[in-house]
Amino acid sequence: MTKLSVNINKIATVRNARGGNMPDVAKAATDCERFGAEGITVHPRPDERHIRYSDVREIKPLITTEFNIEGNPIPSFMDLVLETKPTQVTLVPDAEDAITSNAGWDTIRNKDFLTEICGTFRKAGIRTSIFIDPKPEMAEGAALCGADRVELYTESYAAGFRLSPEKAIEPYLKTALKVRECGLGLNAGHDLSLENLEYFIRNIPWTDEVSIGHAIICDALYMGLEKTIQAYLSKVKIF
């Protein structure tokens, strides 16, 4: 059954815009769990414009479900992950000045680098997921790198959903089948929403986890955080 991991970066963005500790990011993380979230995701960037490294250290001992840290495996990020030892690390090839993640890894071209990174985290007992575009060959490459899972970058699915759900899901289904064939776990994230989430899960029911942040926080402005998380859970708990 698919798990819902809530990305709390946007909560930190609101806090950082004003300074101080309102909203309290650590409390938000535990509240998300209390409201039903089955994991918490953070994506600290080098400029700390939303989640800070100090947030990660504060949140980790509070999490009772799964803790997922996303990011580009630069040395400072590697050190943070090895120090805090989350349930999962998701490797994302984002540039330091990227507004948000905008591409997956080329797991073939970067095989040597990713193999070394996956090996380091495996030795530390941390499940490793590689963020990829919906291309079967990238899933095969991730398996060869020693990853435990991949996370499908779902921006193009979300962008094409309103025009043609069938066409939008097609490359994701093909890639998800290859992921399963390779024996990898399957995550998905980026621009998933109440509008498009259920269709994705119905077509790829072996999805292990979805990581959603921006849409959840936007919906929570109108619905409240607890009701929003429950609404998203209803979209993934359909089997």
- For residue 100, give both structure tokens: 């948000």
The yes-or-no answer on residue 70 being catalytic is yes
Residue (of 132, 52, 110, 122) closest to 82 by Cα position:
122
- Kindly name the residue from 38, 66, 151, 190 that is annotated as catalytic: 190
- For residue 5, give both structure tokens: 């991991």
CB atoms within 10 A of CB 57: 12
- Kindly name the residue from 33, 38, 66, 70 that is annotated as catalytic: 70
The yes-or-no answer on residue 151 being catalytic is no
- Kindly name the residue from 43, 50, 140, 209 that is annotated as catalytic: 43
Phi (first) and psi of residue 12, to 5 degrees:
-65, -35
The yes-or-no answer on residue 43 being catalytic is yes
Burial of 193 (0-12, 13-18, 19+ CB in 10 A): middle
Cβ(210)–Cβ(238) under 8 Å?
A: no
Q: Residue 77 in 3-state DSSP? A: helix
Which residues are designated catalytic?
43, 70, 190
